[in-house]
Amino acid sequence: MRREKCFRFTLLLLVILLISEFSFPALAFAEESPLPEAVIEVPPPNRRLELYGEGELDWPCGVPFEDPGFAAYDSDGADRSGDVRVEGSPVVWRVGDYPILYLFSENDGEFAAARRIVHVVAQPLPEINEPPGGTICLTFDDGPSADTAYLLDILAKYNVKATFFIVANHSKNMDILPRIVAEGHTLGIHCYDHRSYEYLYKDMEHYCSDLLTAQKIVHDYTGHYAHVVRFPGDSRTASLLAGTLTGKYPELYDTLADMGIRAYDWNVQPESATKDTAGTLEQFTHPREPYEYAVVLQHDTRHFSVAAVEKMIQWALDQGYTFAALDETFPEIHFEE
Ligand SMILES: [Zn+2]
């Protein structure tokens, strides 16, 4: 009996369905076509959290992160953007995918949340070009200083382009940075804070935070990020990152490459055995062998050294050398071993 009832009920249902399909074509039509948008649109609730910019975005490795922003409104529609809790931030010196969570909760325990994914992507690093024989790259560390403007005047007089590896926490002389860039020199980074090497090279995070702080300052002054660096100490000192003073620390160079950066030690050091102008000039103008590709270390914080530059340039031009500012296409020089 039960089976029969069940069968009858199913049959009845089928009949109703068939009738509705064939007798009410308007109903079938309504199911297949979407209603006009104006009808189904539901006004958003007042409590909401909106992200500005893309919910998923690519960010160049080595560029300090700036969140595109967000806005939050409570259930009364009041702006509560200042109460948003942001969890997570991209490690911009390490290629990878980083979620950022934005949370806004009200007294009633209800909340609005949004999530953004930041893909930190490697920057392109151009191929190396061998410079022509007899290229001299003058480089100046530890500035800018009170002597940097004078040095720029000398360089301009001979149309010589040079490279400045700056210490970015020199608040007094930083106004010269736009001039360095405008006159065609390369602005490179030495560091933000020339502090103890143990601190700077404690781990990648310490080194990269210092570098990124310097990058932000360089960008604030010039609108550009640096693509060449010189390690405080030298590349052997930077091997402290690996817990040793010898050997190259591959992660450091891979990380810099992801940022589109190359690092340069030097192969000519005219200040090395002297503390005066004549000695600096003497060393520079008496190389053991003619210069092929010379990366010359000087400091624009050393007055005696800056005072030697004009005569150094005159001598080199007389000898037929050419000057160039470094960029990331020049072969790297490292004392790693
Ligand atoms: Zn230095």
303-330 pLDDT tens trace = 999 999 999 999 999 999 999 999 999 9
Residue 15 pLDDT level (bands cut at 50, 70, 90): very low
Q: What is the mean pLDDT of the chain?
A: 88
Q: How many CB atoms lie within 10 A of CB 277?
A: 18
Pairing, β 56-60 against β 111-121:
parallel
In this structure, are residues 331 and 128 in contact, taking their beta carbons and an 8 Å threshold? yes
First to last CA, the chain: 95
Peptide bond into 290 cis (omega under 30): no
Ligand 1 mean position, distance from CA 232 (Å): 5
Ligand 1 mean position, distance from CA 300 (Å): 10
> Which one-letter DSSP state was computed for residue 106?
-
Ligand 1 mean position, distance from CA 192 (Å): 11
In this structure, are residues 263 and 295 in contact, taking their beta carbons and an 8 Å threshold? no
Ligand 1 mean position, distance from CA 123 (Å): 27
109 membership: H or E segment, kind and range: none
Helix 204-222, helix 250-258: angle, nearest 10: 30
**81 residue type, one letter:** S
Q: What is the reported pLDDT for 138?
A: 98
Q: What are the residues facing 328 on neighbouring strands?
A: none
Pairing, β 96-105 against β 111-121:
antiparallel
- b/e for 226-261, b at 16 or more Cβ within 10 A? bbbbbbbbbbbbbbbbeeeeeebbeebbebbbbbbb
Ligand 1 mean position, distance from CA 142 (Å): 5
Model pLDDT for residues 61-110, shown as the tens digit of each residue: 999 999 999 999 988 888 999 999 999 999 999 999 999 999 998 888 88
Q: What is the reported pLDDT for 301?
A: 96
Residue 24 pLDDT level (bands cut at 50, 70, 90): very low
Spell out the domains of the chain, with CATH numbers in brackets.
Answer: 48-121 (2.60.40.10), 135-323 (3.20.20.370)
Q: Which two tokens stand for residue 213?
A: 């702080």
Residue 243 pLDDT level (bands cut at 50, 70, 90): confident
Q: What are the residues facing 137 on neighbouring strands?
A: 295
Ligand 1 mean position, distance from CA 246 (Å): 19
Model pLDDT for residues 273-289, shown as the tens digit of each residue: 888 999 999 999 999 99
In this structure, are residues 264 and 230 in contact, taking their beta carbons and an 8 Å threshold? yes
Does the pLDDT at position 39 exceed 70?
Answer: no
Q: Which residues contact 182 (CB under 8 A, 6 or more apart)?
A: none
CA distance 214 to 177: 12
- Model confidence pTM above 0.85: no
Q: Which residues contact 258 (CB under 8 A, 6 or more apart)?
A: 61, 62, 93, 94, 95, 122, 123
Ligand 1 mean position, distance from CA 82 (Å): 41
Does the pLDDT at position 22 exceed 80?
Answer: no
Ligand 1 mean position, distance from CA 94 (Å): 25
Ligand 1 mean position, distance from CA 164 (Å): 11
Ligand 1 mean position, distance from CA 303 (Å): 15
Ligand 1 mean position, distance from CA 201 (Å): 14
Q: How many CB atoms lie within 10 A of CB 70?
A: 18
Q: What is the reported pLDDT for 232?
A: 95
